[in-house]
Structure 1
Amino acid sequence: MSSTVKFHGKAPLPMRDGVTPSYLWLPEGDWPDLISFMAHNYPAVTEVQWRERMARGDVVDGEGRALGPDSPYRRNLRIFYYRELEAETPIPFEEEIIYQDEHLVVADKPHFLPTIPTGRFLQETLLVRLRRKLGIEDLVPIHRLDRETAGVVVFSSNLNSRGAYQSLFQKRLVQKEYEALAGALDGRDFPFLYRSRMVDGDKFFIMKEEAGEPNSETMIDVAERRADGQVLYRLWPHTGRKHQLRVHLAALGIPIVNDAFYPVALPCKEDDVSQPLKLLARAIGFPDPLTGEWRYFESRRSL
């Protein structure tokens, strides 16, 4: 099956309600018409729904010409369409824009809001919300936060300078600071560096540690000891492994409060937003590749 991705050139369909069109290339194959291929290869959208989209003119080729159910199947034809969801549960927390210029948009993401469209989330994502709010079609996150994590996310709004900012992350020139609420850790002098080898877990959505050369490291310090015995930790990840901070604190015996994945993956809470993961991307800093000045952005949220 061919894959679908977001198009980063000039698409023949405009942004609609914050959503830019997806596209696919038709692979080698022998199909009597376009609808036969689409209904067979993309069953998440029914044939009736594909026909409705085509009737509205929401399925076009690379030149913007409308495609219909009886359009001939042609290898390497590029098809544009809008991703749609029948129903989407509203996420009752608001993002905040903390900085904007001609190159960057910096947002303060709430817990439970995905950074980009995925699975059952489309309109209720930080990217689509910002595109709707700002009207910037070519808005792209330079990095991402998990849905469960709140805090600072940096977006590029200018294609000409995007590569320069993206290279900062590739070269590890970005300083990230997090906060996490967890139990007390005894027998350690703070701050200290925790290192381990992280690999994919037994379930596709989690990670685990194993013996071997470390490939992840986090600096850990205490920011505040609270009366209820919980501790607010300050964390500086030196690497960017998936779920790194959650895995590291769980391995130390102090899993982050309300972590549904570590140390044990609990049943999915679906749309329950009553117990946010107590993990916050507090701040991000980097040398601006255009001016050389140090840029620093801090979340206004707290745990």
Structure 2
Amino acid sequence: MLFTPYGSAQLTFTSHNTSNVRVEVCVCPSSLMGRKRGRSSREQHATKRRRRPQQSPAPTDLDYISRDDYVVIEDFLYVRPYVFEFRMNFRPRWRNQTIYNVFCQEFKHTDEDYWKKEVRDGRVLADGRPINDSALWNDGMEVVHVVHRHESAVLSAPIYIARDEDDFVVVSKPPSLPIHPCGTYRRNSLQFVLKAFYNTGKLLAVHRLDKETSGLVIFAKTPERAAQFSTEIKEHKVQKTYLAEVEGLFPARLSECNESVFWDKREMKASVRQEGMEAKTSFKLLKVNRTRHSSIVECKPLTGRTHQIRVHLAHLGFPIVNDPLYGSQIRLQKTNLVSRGPSPLSISLTHPKLAEKSTASELRQSYLACEWARNSFKQRGQHLSCMEEGQMLSCFNCPQVTNVKNVAVQQMFIHLHALRYESDNWKFEVPPPLWMEQKRDSATTGIGNVTSSLSNCILS
């Protein structure tokens, strides 16, 4: 039983073992929160300054995620569609504007007719209640948009666990998988997949790695350890080593690039510009394949700009293989990472692996993290199937498993791999990428050495 001056609520949900758990929050009337008799004004002021004890955060789908929320078909990992609530909090610039107009202005990926229908059908709620198209924003207001969420597919490559300690874990990320929820990815992110398939618990990301890039990722298990890693990275105390396969015969004499990098938020792309941020990357040629007309290059970014290695190599005239964003002309149709399986867009909820009976009963953990789904369950006394959820929410993605913005297979990976991170206190290394192990023809010349020994993955 918790007392709070902010309001009251009651939450009921069903855990994995189907036992009922009830959490009650009871309001302490505001009339009882005022001044007590016999207390001086100084004592009252000191009481107001006291920090209220922090309450445990509400459970989310990360707390209940399991491998049953996923299905592997051919070379792809799919997330079963689920009910999700996008939440927005009031911002001063929206004062005196209608919620409907703000949604039309802020989310231009859909048209006004779409938002008109969502509002009319009661899927946009303010402070828990459906709105009309004339409802205005108010200070402190929270608006929820209930959707049937379909995520983009990712490659079903395994995740290598390099180190798993009490306060951190080091893994080798496959390409196509973002580190944390973003855009059309939530459960198909590294944080969720690790918890669902490898039972790592809730992890804290301490650095970035593009979803198309493979290789080393460090997660902390505690806020204290996350702060330590983040501080070292921000203070440039961590040396990072990457491997890249680039187009062309990279010259051995070319050792670094010091061009400033500018990030265009609208285009979501970096470029070399004088008005950009200072950036420096060192390079070392390792191998050349004259038949394929490509090279393997060791890259060490001395600064941490977004897409720094990719844009520096492209600026030098040697774009990374399969990276069309920065000018690559080599497009890989098939590698040992991706087969010629069905397109992710061709899979529907009628696929045998997705149409199993269990999807309508045992696999509905998403109900635990969504108020709309909990209320739906209370009203009907049973869980809905994915298709039934979609029908109730007028989902325009159903019956496809993925969403309309799904990523094409060729855009899921580039030949860039994070190999090694090290500081004065620790050193982590993961195996080289699969494309490094592909057999080279006689025209391949070795110029350096790339170690794959796991003994180098040590903590000082």
1:185 to 2:260 alignment:
no
1:119 aligned to 2:198? no
The alpha-carbon distance between structure 1 residues 263 and 14, as it changes in their structure 2 partners (threshold 3 A), is: closer
Q: Which has the larger radius of gyration?
A: 2
Q: TM-score normalized by structure 1?
A: 0.73
Letter in 1 for 2:289: R
Hey, what does 1:233 align to over in structure 2? 297
Please give the residue correspondences for 1:1-303 in structure 2 after superposition, counting only pairs within 5 Å. 10-16=56-62, 17-18=64-65, 24-27=88-91, 29=95, 47=118, 67-69=128-130, 75-77=139-141, 85-135=149-199, 138-182=202-246, 183-186=248-251, 188-189=252-253, 192-201=255-264, 204-211=267-274, 215-226=278-289, 228=291, 229-263=293-327, 270-273=407-410, 276-287=413-424, 293-303=425-435
Secondary structure at the residue paired with 2:193? helix
SS in 2 for 1:224: strand
After superposition, what is the alpha-carbon deviation per residue over 1:20-45, rounded to whole angstroms, capped at 9, x for unaligned?
9975433465799xx97997788778
Equivalent residue, structure 2, for 1:4: none
Structure 1 residues 69 and 206: alpha-carbon distance in aligned structure 2, compared to 1, 3 A threshold? same
Q: Say whether the 8 Å CA contact 1:180–1:278 is kept in structure 2.
A: yes
- 1:145 alignment partner, SS class: coil
Check whether the contact 1:246–1:255 (CA below 8 A) recurs between aligned residues. yes
For 1:10, give the aligned amino acid.
Answer: S
Superposition CA RMSD, Å: 4.1
Report the CA distance shift for 1:26/1:141 in structure 2 as closer, same or farther (over 3 A).
Answer: same
Distance of 1:202 and 1:277 partners within structure 2: 21
Where 1:261 maps in the other structure, the secondary structure is helix
Gap change, CA 1:179 and 1:81, over 3 Å in 2: same
In structure 1, runs of 5+ residues without a counterpart are: 1-7, 62-66, 288-292
Name the structure 2 match of 1:3.
none
For structure 2, which runs of at least 5 residues remain unmatched after alignment?
1-53, 67-83, 331-404, 436-460
Work out whether residues 124 and 130 of structure 2, in 8 Å CA contact, stay in contact via their aligned partners in 1: no
Residues 32-85 of structure 1, C-alpha deviation per residue, up to 9 Å, x if partnerless? Answer: 9xx97997788778737995798xxxx9x8xxxxx3437x98632567899862
Contact 2:322 2:410 in 1 (8 A): no
Distance 1:83 1:41, change over 3 A: farther
SS of 2:183's equivalent in the other structure is: coil
- Once the two structures are superposed, residues 169-223 of structure 1 have per-residue CA deviations (whole angstroms, 9 ceiling, x without a partner) of 111111110011122134x525x22211111359622111124797111110012
CA distance in 1 between partners of 2:121 and 2:227 (Å): 36
CA shift in 2, pair 1:138/1:241, >3 Å: same
Q: Could you tell me whether the CA contact under 8 Å between 2:123 and 2:130 is conserved in 1?
A: no
Q: Percent identity?
A: 20
Distance verdict in 2 for CA 1:97–1:52, change over 3 Å: farther
Distance in 2 (CA, whole Å) between partners of 1:231 and 1:203 is 32
Aligned residues: 276
Q: Distance in 1 between matches of 2:328 and 2:157?
A: 27
Shift of the 155–53 alpha-carbon distance from structure 1 to 2, 3 Å rule, reads farther
Partner amino acid, structure 1, of 2:250: L
Output the CA distance in 1 between the equivalents of 2:266 and 2:407.
18
C-alpha distance in 1 between matches for 2:423 and 2:228: 12
Letter paired with 2:225: S
Q: 1:23 to 1:193 in 2, by over 3 A?
A: same
Q: Over residues 241-266 of structure 1, what are the superposed CA-to-partner deviations in whole Å (9 max), with x where a residue is unaligned?
A: 11111111111111111111113799
Amino acid at match of 1:226: N
- Compare relative contact order (CA 8 Å, sep 6+) and give the higher one, 1 or 2: 2
